[in-house]
Amino acid sequence: MAEEVTKETQKKKKKPILMIVVILAVLIIGGAGAFFFLNKGSSNSAKNTQTQSASSESVMNDKNVHIKNLPSMIVNLANPSGDRYLKISLALVMNGKEKPKGSESLGDTLEDAAIKNAIITVISTKTSDTLLTLSGKEELKKQLIKAINNALGEDTVKDIYFTDFIIQ
């Protein structure tokens, strides 16, 4: 009878130890998985940052480009309810040397009007849901560059920077 009591006591002692070992194993495996998952994401974002900074440096060091800052524009978006707007300001990275300031009249030039028309035409076809995503903004940049270059009749615009981007 004493032997039965000691066997039962040993079994009861083994259950908590086994449970602790299982919990520790789950925690270690979960921690390792989280580490690898988070580490993988940071390396991808580091690669993207390096690529973006490399292209920015090439633009910064290029003597054959200039920046054309456009004033803020408010454009209606193509939402079904019709009550969404985008306030946007752009900086265009343009090929060639900047034109002298004194050669322009007080109003918009024909080039400025063509650029604004291309921007409004492209943006007015977008919905707020599309533009709120990073991929939507990148696609908008590509479409704006293409539309502006088509309007000007040449590959004048190399890149676009959003300097103001507010959806309401």
**What would the DSSP string read from start to end of 84-116?**
-EEEEEEEEEEESPPPPGGGS-SS--HHHHHHH
Q: Is the pLDDT of residue 149 over 60?
A: yes
- What pTM value is reported for the model? 0.61
Q: Residues 132, 151: one domain?
A: yes
Q: Residues 83, 161: one domain?
A: yes
Q: What are phi and psi of 84, to 5 degrees?
A: -115, 140
Q: Residues 97, 145: one domain?
A: yes
Q: What pLDDT is attached to residue 154? A: 83
Q: Residues 79, 48: one domain?
A: no
How far is 158 from 39, CA to CA, in rounded Å? Answer: 34
- From 134, 86, 94, select the one nearest 115 (Cα to Cα): 94
Q: What integer is the mean pLDDT of 143-149?
A: 96
Q: Kindly list the distances between the CA atom of residue 20 and the CA atoms of 10, 14, 15, 25, 139, in Å, as whole numbers in the listed order.
A: 16, 10, 9, 9, 52
Q: Residues 5, 85: one domain?
A: no
Q: Is the pLDDT of residue 150 over 70?
A: yes
Overall number of domains in the chain: 2
Q: Residues 41, 78: one domain?
A: no
- From 79, 56, 49, 74, select the one nearest 161 (Cα to Cα): 56
What does the pLDDT look like over 60-74, one tens digit per residue? 666 788 999 999 999
- DSSP characters over 27-40: HHHHHHHHHHHHHH
Q: Containing domain of residue 37, as a range?
A: 1-61
Q: What integer is the mean pLDDT of 8-17?
A: 66
Contact 125, 64 (CB under 8 A): no
Least confident of 2-11, 48-57, 132-141: 48-57
Q: Residues 28, 80: one domain?
A: no
